[in-house]
Amino acid sequence: MGSVIRVKNVSKKFKIFYDRGDSFKERLLFKNRSRYEDRWVLRDVSLEVEKGEVLALIGHNGCGKSTLLKLLTRIYYPDGGTIEVDGRVSSLIELGAGFHPDMSGRENIYTNASIFGLTKQEIDARLDDIIEFSELREFIDNPVRTYSSGMFMRLAFAVAINVDADILLIDEILAVGDANFQSKCFDRLRELKAAGVTIVIVTHDTGTVTRFCNKAAWINEGSIISYGSASQVVDAYLSYMNGKKLEILKKEEERRMKKEAEARALEEKKNASFKAQHESKATMPDKETENIDYTANHFGLKYAEIEEARLLNHELQRTNVLEAGKPCSIEIYYKVNKPLDEYVFGMAFYTLEDDRLYGNNTQLDGVRIPHEKTNGKVTFKVSSLPLLSGKYRLNVSIVDVNGMPLDFYREYCRFDVISNDKSVGYFSVDHDWEVT
């Protein structure tokens, strides 16, 4: 099959005015204000789309993907290169173009469809399909201003999708109506795809891309970084975006750590002066276990205390951002205030909704920690972190052999996990699909 969209070495620049004056007076008086710089939004982009293919354009905001789509619809003209598109194009970039609120749904169908280049006969022939698809038959003769925004979008989408285009250009508009209508839209798009309609779609939803598209082009800073089968391009894109997210989170964390260190220094100063004043009164924590407030975030008898818990990544750096599939560890530094025979160290991962995903302690695993010294370190080592991308809470604790809390943090800190696994839920499961 031959290609129906041929984009060759296309470049596009926009003039960015510092402060544009559109009138003669402004131009004359403020010559400086008309200064502008050229911003190249697309540079030397080439691609071909074959008949019946579904191509996704992906990339982060401002990468130029929507500009490319607007070039394909001919809203913009390229500054360099050529674009050839064979066949009737329908663009679902802006829904409901030309809708008039005072006119009825039926009249607006005619207006809107005419903007797509349909003749009266063609619209007459499609009218029933359009009304049927919009599910608005009983309201179709009411003025559009009485419609809810969802009804409005449904009508607009129904027109756009029934134009019978050879090529459909879609920009991030599949968030139309409720879930039922959305799946109906996708069903219709699938029908069109099966009927050999070529579709180019701009989206942020990588799920849509892998489910629905054959091909994808990843655009970054105006150039195509990767172009090929949808799943491969999505993988490359996601791992790049994860890397970027990691950088951002790391920077955030550095800032936070610095703040914490400052706060801690201040706290210690206070404590030091407090201790100096009350040195003689310092006693061991109360023995009465009823006084433990189990609802608090931090509680316990304080016979043994957690001085610090640390999350370490696979490079043994302290961090709050862990990479899934790689080793990591949790170090618990402790000191003993009143010696007991034996201590039990525990940890757990919680979701932000307070569901425990995983919890373990030294007692469960049969690791005995008898009293030997007054301070030390216990490390929970993970060979491969199985969590999916998201934010989690870390719980750390020291209890005695009967489970009496000595020092217990429900949430010691929060941490982020970055994963390339696209599964949903919290855990990665090592798997393969086999089709027989």
Partner 1 sequence: MIRTLKEVYAYREMVVTLVHKDLRGRYKGSVLGFMWTFINPLFQLLIYDIVFSKLMHNAVDRYYLFLFVALIPWIFFSASMTGGSMAVLGQKSLVTKIYFPREVLPIAYVTSSFVNMLLSFVVVFAVVLVARVPVSPLGLLALPLVMIVEYLMALGVAMTVSAITVYFRDLEHILGIISMGMQFLSPVMYNEITMNITGRSLTLFRLNPMYYILSAYRTILYYGGVPDLKTLLPGLAFGVVMLLAGFAIFDVLKKRFAEVM
Q: Give the binding site for partner 1 (CB under 8 A).
A: 14-15, 22-25, 70, 73-77, 89, 91, 93-94, 97-98, 100, 102-103, 110-111, 113-120, 123
Task: Name which of 326, 325, 342, 324 is nearest 401 in CA terms.
Answer: 342
Which C-beta is closer to partner 1: that of 120 or that of 381? Answer: 120
* Shortest reach from residue 120's CB to partner 1, in Å: 5
| Residues 184, 178: Cα–Cα separation, whole Å | 10
Which C-beta is closer to partner 1: that of 101 or that of 228? Answer: 101
Which C-beta is closer to partner 1: that of 75 or that of 284? Answer: 75
* Shortest reach from residue 10's CB to partner 1, in Å: 14
* Shortest reach from residue 149's CB to partner 1, in Å: 17
| Residues 414, 99: Cα–Cα separation, whole Å | 49
Which C-beta is closer to partner 1: that of 123 or that of 192? Answer: 123
Written as one string, the DSSP assignment of 126-189 is: HHHHHHHHHT-GGGTTSBGGGS-HHHHHHHHHHHHHTS--SEEEEES----SSHHHHHHHHHHH
* Shortest reach from residue 168's CB to partner 1, in Å: 13
* Shortest reach from residue 9's CB to partner 1, in Å: 18
Backbone angles phi, psi at 114, to 5 degrees: -65, -30
Asked whether the beta carbons of 10 and 44 are under 8 A apart, the reply is yes
Which C-beta is closer to partner 1: that of 5 or that of 123? Answer: 123
Which C-beta is closer to partner 1: that of 115 or that of 263? Answer: 115
In sequence order, what are the residues at sequence separation of 6 or more whose Cβ sits closer than 8 angstroms to the Cβ of residue 252?
none
* Shortest reach from residue 58's CB to partner 1, in Å: 22
Which C-beta is closer to partner 1: that of 113 or that of 417? Answer: 113
Backbone angles phi, psi at 349, to 5 degrees: -105, 130
| Residues 1, 52: Cα–Cα separation, whole Å | 9
Task: Name which of 349, 347, 330 is nearest 387 in CA terms.
Answer: 349
* Shortest reach from residue 20's CB to partner 1, in Å: 9
Written as one string, the DSSP assignment of 33-77 is: GG-EEEEEEEEEEEEEEETT-EEEEE-STTSSHHHHHHHHHTSS-
* Shortest reach from residue 74's CB to partner 1, in Å: 5
Which C-beta is closer to partner 1: that of 73 or that of 220? Answer: 73
* Shortest reach from residue 328's CB to partner 1, in Å: 49
Q: Which contiguous run of DSSP H or E holds residue 409? A: strand 405-418
CA R_g for the chain: 31
Which C-beta is closer to partner 1: that of 167 or that of 328? Answer: 167
| Residues 145, 259: Cα–Cα separation, whole Å | 53
Residue 328 half-sphere exposure toward CB, CA atoms < 13 A: 22
Strand partners, 306: 334
